[in-house]
Amino acid sequence: MAACRRQILFIGLVGTIFMFGVSTGLAGAQHKPPKAPKSLRLYIFDCGVIHTTNGDAYSLKKEEMASTEMSIPCILVAHPKGTLMWDNGDIPDRAFPPGGGRATLGVVTQDTPLLPQMAAVGYAPTDITYLSMSHYHGDHVANANSFAGATWLVRKVERFGQFWLFRRRSRVVIAFEWNGR
């Protein structure tokens, strides 16, 4: 019985040392925020394609459209005074198959999640200073929670449209309100 306890203690000790080594190794390999650029940088990420058969939902006639497929861009603006993520896709990164591959959500397909595209140019969600969305439609908001540490820039009418049912429970703060000037 004492030998069994010693083996368990030994295995526990080895496991603890291993986990400590792994965790300190990972801590050293964490993302380092990029340096602020000296001039404006614009990154446009592929956040999917809307496959539609006509443009009725967009007040367009089929003959007015060269293609009924529409791209979904996600845009990162890097400025010496901060970064802005403008729109963040239709398919949340968590919806992609484990190990990679195309994701499909309704009429939208996307080959690569947003966050790995950002990482490829040196940015993580924690590097984003401001988050803004052109409007509150599914193809603009899918990864918004990834940018919870950013200041959300929103017009009052859009904020109201998103949270009118949850006004009393919402913790959203208007960081910016456009006054038309």
Rounded to whole angstroms, the Cα distance separating 173 from 159 reads 9
Structure tokens at 105: 């959500």
Contact at 8 Å (CB) between 34 and 123?
yes
pLDDT at 107 over 70: yes
The verdict on 14 and 58 lying in the same domain is no
Residue range 52-67, pLDDT digits in tens:
887 887 788 878 888 8
Between 75 and 170, the more confident residue is: 75
Residue 175's pLDDT is what?
44
The verdict on 47 and 72 lying in the same domain is yes
- DSSP per-residue letters across 13-68: HHHHHHHHHHHHHHHHTSPPPPPPPSS-EEEEEEEEEEE-S-SGGGT--GGG-S-S
pLDDT at 177 over 60: no
Q: How far is CA 87 from CA 75, 111, 142, 161, in A?
A: 7, 17, 9, 17
- Residue 65 is assigned to a structural domain of this protein: yes
The verdict on 101 and 160 lying in the same domain is yes
The verdict on 10 and 54 lying in the same domain is no
pLDDT at 14 over 60: no
- Residue 54 is assigned to a structural domain of this protein: yes
Structure tokens at 97: 């198959």
Helix (H) or strand (E) holding 12: helix 2-28
Rounded to whole angstroms, the Cα distance separating 89 from 110 reads 9
pLDDT at 25 over 70: no
CATH number for the domain spanning 62: value is 3.60.15.10
The verdict on 18 and 57 lying in the same domain is no
The verdict on 114 and 78 lying in the same domain is yes
The verdict on 152 and 70 lying in the same domain is yes
- Residue 5 is assigned to a structural domain of this protein: yes
Q: Please state the φ and ψ torsions of residue 100, each to the nearest 5 degrees.
A: 100, 175
- Residue 174 is assigned to a structural domain of this protein: no
Residue range 89-102, pLDDT digits in tens:
999 999 999 988 99
Structure tokens at 23: 């965790």
Rounded to whole angstroms, the Cα distance separating 168 from 109 reads 36
The verdict on 97 and 134 lying in the same domain is yes
The verdict on 116 and 149 lying in the same domain is yes
- Residue 149 is assigned to a structural domain of this protein: yes
Share of the chain above pLDDT 90, in %: 38
Residue range 135-168, pLDDT digits in tens:
776 667 888 889 999 998 887 777 766 665 554 4
Report the predicted TM-score, pTM, of the whole model to 2 decimal places: 0.70
The verdict on 22 and 93 lying in the same domain is no
The verdict on 59 and 138 lying in the same domain is yes
The verdict on 19 and 54 lying in the same domain is no
Tally the domains of the chain.
Answer: 2
Residue 19's pLDDT is what?
39
Rounded to whole angstroms, the Cα distance separating 159 from 175 reads 11
Mean pLDDT for the stretch of residues 14-24: 39
**Which domain range does residue 95 map to?**
41-166
Residue 2's pLDDT band, with cuts at 50, 70 and 90, is low
- Residue 35 is assigned to a structural domain of this protein: no
Rounded to whole angstroms, the Cα distance separating 142 from 89 reads 5
- Residue 59 is assigned to a structural domain of this protein: yes
